[in-house]
Amino acid sequence: MVTLLVPAALRVDAAGASRLDVTACGTLRAVLDEVAGRWPRLDRRIRDERGELRRYVNVYVDGEDCRRGEGLDTPVPSGAEVQVIPSVAGG
Amino acid sequence: MTTPPAKTLLMIGTTKGLFLATSSDDRLTWEVSGPHFSMTGVYSAAIDKRRSAPRLLAGVSSSHFGPSVATSDDLGGSWREPDQPPLAFPADTETSLGRVWQLAPGSAAEPDVVYAGTEPTALFRSVDGGVSYEMVRALWDHPHRKEWGEGFGGQAAHTVLPHPADPARVLVAMSTGGVYRSDDAGATWTTGNTGIRAYFLPDEWPEFGQCVHKVARDAGDPDRLYAQNHHGVYRSDDAGVTWNSIADGLPSDFGFAMVAHPHRSGVIYNFPLVADGERFPVERRCRPFRSVDAGTTWEPLAVGLPTDPYYAAVLRDAMCVDDAETAGVYFGTRAGEVYASRDEGDSWSLVAAHLPDVLCLRAAEV
């Protein structure tokens, strides 16, 4: 089990939840694939149709930016906390 | 004496959301609600009146969370968005959707067909009233595609003009790339740029590569089209095969918007800017122009508009007409002001001010 922390801007796409329990673990991709199946609109705010992380969405696994790790292949052990945070961008 | 419409709706897409202006007194006064889709760029909007209840469509684009299309069947009271992406590039294109620049209801004969023009340049077609879309493959597979260029706004199909009566015919314009036409429901595409100049290319009269900013279709003759180019204003009388300049009566041949009257053949509206290198209104005046003879002569329209120096441009989809018997004309500026005329451009009044940059407008009696 993994906990996904949902930013305020995306809670409308997760039935209002700020935390989601996700069964899948192993890699960030596996976690987001389960998200895509259960909360498809939430996933498409985070990833585009190619399955790539959107440019201005950051995902942290236990506090580490996945882009500094292995991207969507970043290991996500059971019990991990996956945090989605919009990056600082725009005007 | 015409009967006043029950209600007029004006969709105002801005860089930071959608505003909805409604008038219940024949466009004399307006109530503005919004922003809907706060903090998203609303690059495209449509009011589809072919359905039993008008459907609003909005192409929304979050700089963080990506693009989407939302629809409303209760005039903006509530919006819905499909769980799956309404538009997505097929996997083998190795491309992802940037944003939706245009939403265009299809011909009256196909009331569930809606087209979308996108960035990167592609055409999508919906057969469920604009909820979900499939890419029109033949345009994407066109051998010219690799050579289509990119303007400052990105590479996009920003004009989609379905033929009003013949569902097989549709015209697309893109920046850059120019005009493409299909007469077989999108199965094949031919260029339609003869006569449109591309001064920014070594060959100034190429088959394609023009930077067409907007194309409008004449109200009375569907084979008559009007184009605002990146320098150059043109008319085609043969469905977009060949084009001739109609810029002589305008103070500048640069601008973005080109709008045709909903009922009166030969009546068109334009908002000239000084030049590519000086994108301010001509003479710093907030002033659209109208032609009632298909572009042969033009007249400035300034009654009721600001008289102090005005620096904000009108973008390609930020001018529109409604469908009333005495047409309303609307334009919005990058200074966040929206003006309306209830007498076909003779005089103007302010609908809203201090909005974010206006990207697109659509209006209709509802």
Question: Which tens digits make up the pLDDT trace of B157-191?
Answer: 999 999 999 999 999 999 989 999 999 999 999 99
Does the beta-carbon distance from A50 to B83 stay under 8 Å?
no
In a domain, B213, yes or no: yes
CB count within 10 Å of CB B205 equals: 13
Residues of chain A with C-beta less than 8 angstroms from the C-beta of B63: 56, 89-90
Q: Identify which of A10, A40, A45 has the shortest CB distance to residue B84.
A: A40
Question: Residue B29 pLDDT more than 70?
Answer: yes
Strands B122-126 and B99-105: unpaired
Which residue among A40, A48, A87 sits closest to B66, beta carbon to beta carbon?
A48
Instruction: Name the residue of chain B whose CA is nearest to A14's CA.
Output: B83
User: Given an 8 Å threshold on Cβ–Cβ distance, is A40 in contact with B64?
Assistant: no
pLDDT at residue A90 tops 90:
no
| Helical (H) or strand (E) element with B118 | strand B114-119
Q: How much is the mean pLDDT over chain A? A: 96
* Cross-chain Cβ contact A40/B89 below 8 Å: no
> How many domains does chain B fold into?
1
pLDDT at B312 over 90: yes
B184 part of a folded domain: yes
Residues of A in contact with B96 (CB under 8 A): 48-50, 52
Give me the pLDDT at residue B43, please. 98
pTM of the model: 0.96
Interface test with A, best of B14, B36, B61, B65 (most A CBs within 10 A): B65
CB spacing of B63 vs A45 below 8 angstroms? no
The yes-or-no verdict on residue B5 having pLDDT over 60 is no
pLDDT value at residue B2: 55
pLDDT at B39 over 60: yes
Whole-number pLDDT of residue B173:
98
For residue B50, is it within any domain? yes
Say yes or no to pLDDT of B35 above 80.
yes
Q: Does residue A89 surpass a pLDDT of 80?
A: no
The answer to whether residue B3 is domain-embedded is no
Tokens, residue B136: 């029109």
| Tokens, residue B282 | 């001509």
* Interface size, chain A vs chain B, as Cβ–Cβ contacts under 8 Å: 45
Residue ranges per domain, chain A? 2-86
Nearest chain A Cα distance for residue B70, angstroms: 12
Confirm whether B278 is domain-assigned.
yes
Query: Tens digit of pLDDT for each residue in B338-351?
Result: 999 999 999 999 99
| Inter-chain residue contact A56 with B97, CB threshold 8 Å | no
Nearest Cβ partner of B96 from A49, A56, A57?
Answer: A49
B91: contact with A, CB 8 A cutoff: yes
Please answer yes or no on whether B66 and A45 come within 8 Å at the CB atom: yes
HEC-encoded secondary structure of chain A: CEEEECCHHHHHHHCCCCEEEECCCEEHHHHHHHHHHHCHHHHHHHECCCCCECCCEEEEECCEECCCCCHHHCEECCCCEEEEEECCCCC
The CATH number assigned to the domain holding B313 equals: 2.130.10.10
Range of the domain at B304: 8-365
Q: What residues in B contact A56, CB-CB < 8 Å?
A: 63-64
Full DSSP string of B243-274: -EE--TTSS-SEEEEEEE-SSSTT-EEEEEEE
Question: Above 70 in pLDDT, residue B221?
Answer: yes
What is the pLDDT, as a whole number, of residue B3? 60
Residue B289, pLDDT score: 98
pLDDT at B265 over 60: yes
ipTM over 0.95 threshold: no
Query: Confidence band (pLDDT; 50, 70, 90) for B151?
Result: confident
> What confidence tens digit (pLDDT) does each residue in B186-202 have?
999 999 999 999 998 98
Which positions in chain A touch B89 (Cβ < 8 Å)?
A: 49-50
Its CATH class, for the domain covering A2-86, is alpha beta
Contacts of B248 (CB under 8 A, 6+ apart): none
Q: Which of B64, B84, B97 sits opposite A57 (nearest CB)?
A: B64
Interval B99-130: pLDDT, tens: 999 999 999 999 999 999 999 999 999 999 99
Q: Provide mean pLDDT across the span B244-252.
A: 98
Interface touch B64/A9, C-beta < 8 Å: yes
- What local confidence, expressed as pLDDT, does residue B354 receive? 98
pLDDT band at B356 (very low <50, low <70, confident <90, very high): very high
Q: What residues 56-85 of chain B have any CB closer than 8 A to a CB of chain A?
A: 62-66, 68, 81, 83-85
Contact B65 A48 (CB under 8 A): no
Q: Write the DSSP symbol of residue B145.
A: G
Look at residue B153 and tell me whether its pLDDT is greater than 80: no
